[in-house]
Amino acid sequence: MYSIIKNIKVKFCTFGKNITMRKIILYILVITQISIVSAQSLVVTGDNSVLSSDICLRTYSYLTVKNVSNKDHDVICEKNVISVPAGMDNTFCWGGLCYGVNTLVSSQFLTLNSGQGNSVSFTGYFDAYCEQGIGIVEYCFYPVSDTLDRSCFTVTYHGSATSINDNPYYENVGDFYPNPANDIVYFNFNGNSALLKLIDILGNNVKEILLSKEGVQKLDLSDMNKGIYFGNLIVNNEVVSIKKLIVQ
């Protein structure tokens, strides 16, 4: 009788251990799959800010797109215009074709093998047509098979013959803090009169603030949705500085 009970206990303990091991293996598999799903397949690098040597000449932006996944992908390019002054144009080339001003998504894809990077197939263009101004354009890249697996890169084009740091109004507004922000954000303003426009990533004008006093400025964000915004400082009807703000 004792030996029978002992065998039953051994079998029960072995069964319990097997169940525990199965749970551990299942947990590891789930965690691994979540990590794979959340990882982006593409990495985009380049210059966030490009300058024109002559405002009457075209400004160029070059980006490198690399496939860091373990699969080959047919990659699409999508353009999102955040802010471009009236009368100025922006276009791009991808996958062997160049597209017009009104084209937002490339009709041609570029195949990137696993681990392959490409630094010659994308070019962004900004035409200021001899006018001073700043354009902000976001470029997103994603596999044809998964439009949500996207990697985006924002480029600021300065249609000016000199660096933006040479602009006398550039230091009139400081960076937003804290950033990211929740309900309230602050920034420094050192000018006499200017207009601050908050623009979302779709180019919509969300909020306008008239600045007339120097010092620390307080901005209420309680009526704004979570997301990425750009604060355009406007002096004499010209965008002279742009600051990025994240609302969370």
Which tens digit of pLDDT belongs to each residue from 74-125? 999 999 999 888 889 999 999 889 999 999 999 999 999 999 999 889 999 9
Using H for helix, E for strand and C for coil, what is the string for the chain? CHHHHHHHHHHHHHHHHHHHHHHHHHHHHHHHHHHHHHCCCEEEEECCEEECCCCCCCEEEEEEEEECCCCCEEEEEEEEEEECCCCCEEEEEECCEEECCCCCECCCCEEECCCCEECCCCEEEEECCCCCEEEEEEEEEEECCCCCCCEEEEEEEEECCCCHHHCCCHHHECCCECCCECCEEEEEECCCCEEEEEEECCCCEEEEEEECCCEEEEEECCCCCCEEEEEEEEECCEEEEEEEEEEC
CATH topology for 42-164 is Immunoglobulin-like (2.60.40)
Residue 146 pLDDT > 50: yes
Residue 175: pLDDT band (50, 70, 90) is confident
174 versus 36: the higher-pLDDT residue is 174
Q: Which pLDDT does position 193 carry in this prediction?
A: 84
CB 188 within 8 A of CB 217: yes
Do the beta carbons of residue 204 and residue 224 sit within 8 Å? Answer: no
Report the distance separating Cα 208 and Cα 196, nearest Å: 6
* CA 97 to each of CA 100, 133, 219, 225: distance values in angstroms, whole numbers, following the listed order: 10, 27, 44, 36
- 70-79, 130-139, 170-179: which range is least confident on average? 170-179
Q: Is domain 167-247 in CATH 2.60.40.3080, yes or no? A: yes
Residue 152 or residue 24, greater confidence: 152
Tell me what the mean pLDDT of segment 131-141 comes to.
Answer: 89
Q: Tell me what pLDDT residue 232 has.
A: 80
